[in-house]
Structure 1
Amino acid sequence: MAAFTPAAVLSTRVAEAHVVAPQELAPGSPESVGLCSDRIEDVFARVSRRVNDGLFPGAVALIARRGRIVGHRAFGTRVRGQDEPVTLDTLFDLLSMTKVLATATSALILVQDGVLRLNDRVADFVPGFEAHGKAAITVRDMLRYTAGLPIDSQFLDEADDERVWQRMAEAPLEYAPGTQVLYSDLTYRLLGRVIEAASGMDLDELAKARIWGPLGMRDTTFSPSAALIPRTAATGFSALRGRVVRGEVQDDQDFALGGIAGCDGAFSTARDIAVFCQMILNGGRYGGVRILSRQAAAAMVSNQTPEVRAADTDQSPLSNLLCTPKGYGWELATRRFSNGGTRLGRGAYGKSGGAGTFMWIDSRRELFGVLLTNHGLPTPFDEIGWNRMLDSVGSAEFFDGIVNAVMDE
């Protein structure tokens, strides 16, 4: 692969990542890596309490430090109201975690290959995108959520997929590109199209060939097969489909487009996601496989939006998701309303999924957690709905509890 050079990140300052020796995850006791067993048990007990209180049907939680999985637990049921217990190998609808696990990582791999450049124009890959003054928007603008596009555009009235993609490509700007952050499903949906055009492969094929397959993430996939449905947790009810969604992406627009999109659609297990997290902690490598160069892995989780200040944008849980500084695909920890809590170290990074899934990595502590639930998308998906979902799932409590278990600092 070609080197991911400083020039490739367009002179953006990249924080120096703490990189541990490449390693594979293995079981370990909390005390062997400087964590307190009683406090880890408290973290799991709080997840269990929320399930028992009926705040969401089920969950799998995983905690790891220094390459050791110190806890991996399953709670509740795969389908609300049914006696079908969640197991450690249950697959969950990850929704926006797809942006990191598939899309942003695939884009950076193509940059390493020399197939794509961060300063390439999106309009060169997506027909019609140059409409409404968007001709100069780059791949990097999309990766860091500064492309100027709206949060989303749903065209469920269209029966023809190509017409939907055309309308998305021609969407007018919401703000001047590069002047602010606005988290956007539409942006990443179209970024997936850029990746497919540049690589000549479908996004799911590329992710399996270059990320999930080499890492041994065998349970990570778009559109789970019929054989995987019994292991997959159901999310919420879709009025459009007239049923509880199970093994299908819950977002109706992405489902209508076939379930494979740059913004949503991936399903996975906590164990597979832990492998991905450890790869990032290892500077782009896991075991004997290198997915990203160290420079690319560091750039991905560094602040790529220095023009935006957390102090000005971290005003509520929803504004935190939408407007605070971002990496390439990743959310960055802040001190007020991060869904990863307030105790993660400086430079921590993570990703949430709208149906109630989370991963956060504290690289300074060599620590990460994965919390997957089948809460389902908030209804309606507005500020109150987002707040209620976060309160029900308790992601901040979960990650604060993990940091509270650290005993060697």
Structure 2
Amino acid sequence: MCTEHRSFNRRRLLQGLGRTVAAAALAPAVLPIRVAEAHVQTAYEELAPGRPERVGVCSERLEDVFARVQRRVNDGLFPGAVALIARKGKIIGHRAFGSRVRGADEPVTLDTLFDLLSITKVLATATSAMILVQDGVLRMNDRVADFIPEFAANGKQAITVCDMLRYTAGLPMDSQFLDDPDDESVWRRMAESPLEYATGTQVLYSDLTYRLLGRVIEVATGMDLDAFAKARIWGPLGMRDTTFNPSAALISRTAATGYSDLRGRVVRGEVQDDQDYALGGIAGCDGAFSTARDIAVFCQMILNGGRYGGVRVLSRNAAAAMVSNQTPVVTAEETDVSPMSNLLKTPKGYGFELATHRFSNGGSRLSKGSYGKAGGTGCFLWIDRRRELIGVILTNHGLPTPFDDIGWNRMLDAVGNAEFFDGIVNSIVDE
């Protein structure tokens, strides 16, 4: 649980900045947070190719999983995809499908980068925040207004970093200010947004919350989120293809998503969300691009309890906290009533979504305690910790239009993410 508030301290900030710039080794920390048992059976130091049968998976059933992805591409439900499946430290399936650009002869390859949209929340923002807690630069009950003074408007002065990490701050799902060309004015208007519900009384998945949490991280470190994530997460893990704002050299390897009316073009190598693009493409809610292989490395690090390839990114306690239920104020029984309600209102960890029985975008067959993340362009990752199983499917379906219950349902039906993850579990034969 969150502990008592501790005020922002300039000396603590400067000390933390020194550690950040030096990228010092992380020491295990006892965090003031709700933590479930980690359930790390074995830490597999590095992912390596392996045969499905060696890790209790049926090759024939796995081929069926991939065939179903190919069928959806053939039917034109989305242009292309990369899917990766790993178990017990072995990559047992890694396939590319379709085209990087709809209607073009540009085959997707295994190293294709995809616009991850909200997977950014775990791949960059929540993990960065937990690292800063370990460093002592942030504390879970630091007030957001101590870093963003305008945030105190409309009775929000007591909202904490912890509230934002677990989606209980009370802010609306999003606020778009595309009519305002002044970035600082947009940030101020977002910070001043009134609450939609009383802080801590319910869960509401919110891009606005995580956009502002990314801003807190940038103020606390003096670095933009891209630079910090590369220094403390992606670089140490060898995730060399993970970045905000892909460089010109990477565009040819990047999958295009949908058409932007605001930009008047098909979006490729730019975050599809128009507000995040207008703010420069680096935001706490969206903007990261990556490959299935890099994401699998990140997933294995979390599954390993914060460690991968001889590098400790998070303490075991911090990694367990991110994927534990941090929102006991709500229950799945009350909130798991539709796919959109599942995304917005069911129990959450820090950044992560938690598996539920009925409408989880990870399907209905994952073990209790599984966790994952959806990205609105049609990208999904899920980790079944009991089975030591990782599934990643990245597509360039693009944002649903409109982004409402029906649009979200249609995107899920097109991508077939539940079928994909259910099929992976069905391929396991050693249970």
When normalised by structure 1's length, the TM-score is 0.98
Map of 2:251 onto structure 1: 229
Q: 1:320 aligns with which of 339, 342, 346?
A: 342
1:3 counterpart = 2:39: no
1:59 counterpart = 2:81: yes
Counterpart-to-counterpart distance in 1, 2:260 and 2:35: 43
Letter in 2 for 1:406: I
Identity across the alignment (%)? 80
Counterpart-to-counterpart distance in 2, 1:166 and 1:13: 34
Alignment length (residue pairs):
406
Q: 1:179 aligns with which of 180, 193, 201?
A: 201
Q: 1:25 aligns with which of 37, 43, 47?
A: 47
Counterpart-to-counterpart distance in 1, 2:337 and 2:40: 29
Map of 1:349 onto structure 2: 371
Map of 1:248 onto structure 2: 270
Encode CA deviations 1:127-185: one digit per residue, 9 max, x unaligned.
21011110110000000000000000000000100000000000000000000000000
SS in 1 for 2:186: helix
Counterpart-to-counterpart distance in 2, 1:148 and 1:119: 16
Deviation at 1:285, TM superposition (A): 0.3
Map of 1:335 onto structure 2: 357
Letter in 2 for 1:331: E
Map of 1:35 onto structure 2: 57
Counterpart-to-counterpart distance in 2, 1:303 and 1:127: 30
SS in 1 for 2:258: strand
Letter in 1 for 2:97: F
Q: 1:210 aligns with which of 232, 236, 241?
A: 232
Map of 2:12 onto structure 1: none
The correspondence of residues 64-213 of structure 1 with structure 2, limited to 5 A, is 64-213=86-235
Encode CA deviations 1:386-408: one digit per residue, 9 max, x unaligned.
00000000000000000001111
Contact in 2 for aligned 1:20/1:283 (Cα 8 Å): no
SS in 2 for 1:151: coil
Counterpart-to-counterpart distance in 2, 1:173 and 1:167: 13
Counterpart-to-counterpart distance in 2, 1:17 and 1:146: 26
SS in 1 for 2:155: coil
Encode CA deviations 1:338-391: one digit per residue, 9 max, x unaligned.
000000000000000000000000000000100000000000001000000000
Q: 1:367 aligns with which of 389, 392, 396?
A: 389
Deviation at 1:13, TM superposition (A): 4.4
SS in 2 for 1:335: coil
Map of 2:401 onto structure 1: 379
SS in 2 for 1:32: helix
Letter in 1 for 2:88: R
Letter in 2 for 1:404: N
Encode CA deviations 1:204-234: one digit per residue, 9 max, x unaligned.
0000000000000000000000000000000
Counterpart-to-counterpart distance in 2, 1:278 and 1:216: 13
5+ residue gaps, structure 1:
none
Counterpart-to-counterpart distance in 1, 2:219 and 2:408: 34
Map of 1:302 onto structure 2: 324
Deviation at 1:22, TM superposition (A): 4.1
Deviating beyond 3 angstroms after TM superposition, the runs of 4 or more aligned structure 1 residues are: none
Deviation at 1:49, TM superposition (A): 0.2
When normalised by structure 2's length, the TM-score is 0.93
Letter in 1 for 2:96: A
Counterpart-to-counterpart distance in 2, 1:4 and 1:94: 30
Contact in 1 for aligned 2:303/2:385 (Cα 8 Å): yes
